[in-house]
Amino acid sequence: MRFSASLALLLSLSALHAEVAMTTEAPASTVRCVYSGTDGHCVEPVLKSGRELVITVLGQGVAPSVTASPAQAYALAKRSAIADGYRQIAERVRGVQVEGQDSVKNMMLVQSSTRTSVEATVRGANILNTTFKEGLCEVEMEIALSYTQFSR
Amino acid sequence: MRSRNGNCPFVYAIFSLAAALSLLADDYLIGYRLTTRNAQIIDESLTVSKAMLPCPRDQKTPLLLRRENNETIERLLKREQTLFLEYASVQPIRLKSNETLNGTDIKSLQTLTLPTQCYAVEFNDRLVTITLLQHNNEK
């Protein structure tokens, strides 16, 4: 009796888990991934056939300390933020090349340096939203990747 | 008098006029480069040069800019740089980024480049029409 009850509980739990898994699976053909370089909470989605992957990034730029007008400060900070957004998109799509160098002297770490670089060509990125507050401009950008772009 | 095709002659006339004007436009090569260090712009350049050879007429949607006091294309683009960059950024953008972490010192250097492309520029009295003519990567 106790065995059959535990078996029924186990079966109901597995069925419930299966239902939750089915409901959490994205039914739409677009997979969204929010990534801001600082939160790092994005789970890496996989680009599948017939689906579109949308990557959203948040580029940040700072206005120069010396500008002719607040409008110029805004324009320059926005351009810098757009460049940062493009960098994040390139890092997400193309990947980052990382080089590390540690110098050890007499069994002690003397110097440690890390160098990251990315070089890419980006097309089709869109600016979704722009905010400017206290000299910091944030630009939300997105790029839609389709399976056919990479399967050519 | 209205033709049997309704307003079609007017449409043809407008299209033929636009085509003729686009053939009369001058071709310019325009490129853009932006360099930022630690999220601040340190260098920005917009280069404009008249094309020595006519460009292929593979036209995209034009950009209309207001012209003040017969200003040159260089002055106009400097004044309306943001609008032009938004228009030109439909083409592929090259990005090169380097970041160095040395102890607690972080340095970042980014270069964003809009490759030099050919644009048809047509001057009118108070309006300038700029049209992207070709995409190098699509050829």
Tokens at B73, concatenated: 């294309």
Mean pLDDT, rounded, of chain B: 82
Q: Is B110 on the interface with A (CB under 8 A)?
A: yes
**Torsion (CA) B20, B22, B28, B33 in degrees, nearest 10:** 180
Which residues in chain B are closer than 8 Å to A76, comparing Cβ atoms?
A: 41
Q: Which residue range forms the structural domain that includes residue A52?
A: 2-150
Q: What residues does each domain of chain B span?
A: 27-138
The DSSP secondary-structure symbol of B3 reads B
The CA distance from B23 to B120, in Å, is: 9
Contact B44 A79 (CB under 8 A): yes
**In A, which residues are within 8 Å of B96 by CB distance?**
117-119
Q: Which of A60, A79, A123 sits opposite B41 (nearest CB)?
A: A79
> By C-alpha distance, which of B28, B60, B20 is closest to B46?
B28
Quote the CA–CA distance of B72 and B78 in Å, as a whole number.
Answer: 10
DSSP class of A63: -
Inter-chain CB proximity A113 and B98 less than 8 Å? no
Give chain A positions within 8 Å (CB) of B36. 61, 80, 83-84
- Please give the model's pTM, rounded to 2 decimal places: 0.71
Number of domains in chain A: 1
Residue A23 is encoded by which pair of tokens? 């409901």
Residue A9, SS3 per DSSP: helix
Question: Would you say residue B1 has pLDDT above 90?
Answer: no
What pLDDT, on a 0 to 100 scale, did the predictor assign at position B133?
87
DSSP, collapsed to helix, strand or coil, labels residue A76 as helix
Minimum distance, in Å, between the CA of residue B104 and any CA atom of chain A: 10
The CB-side HSE value for A120 (13 A sphere, CA atoms) comes to 18
Rounded to the nearest angstrom, the minimum Cα separation between B109 and chain A is 9
pLDDT tens, residue by residue, A119-128:
999 988 999 9
**Nearest residue to A61 (alpha-carbon basis) of A140, A128, A139:** A139
- Predicted ipTM of the assembly: 0.72
Count the residues in chain A. Answer: 152
pLDDT digits (tens, 9 = 90+) for A55-81: 999 999 998 888 888 888 999 999 999
Q: B70-123: per-residue pLDDT in tens?
A: 888 899 998 899 899 989 988 899 999 999 998 888 999 999 999 999 999 998
Considering only residues A48 and B9, tell me which one the structure prediction assigns the higher pLDDT: A48
Interface of A with B (CB under 8 A): 60-64, 75-76, 79-84, 86-87, 90-91, 111-123, 125
Mind listing the pLDDT tens digit for each residue in B116-136? 999 999 988 888 999 998 655
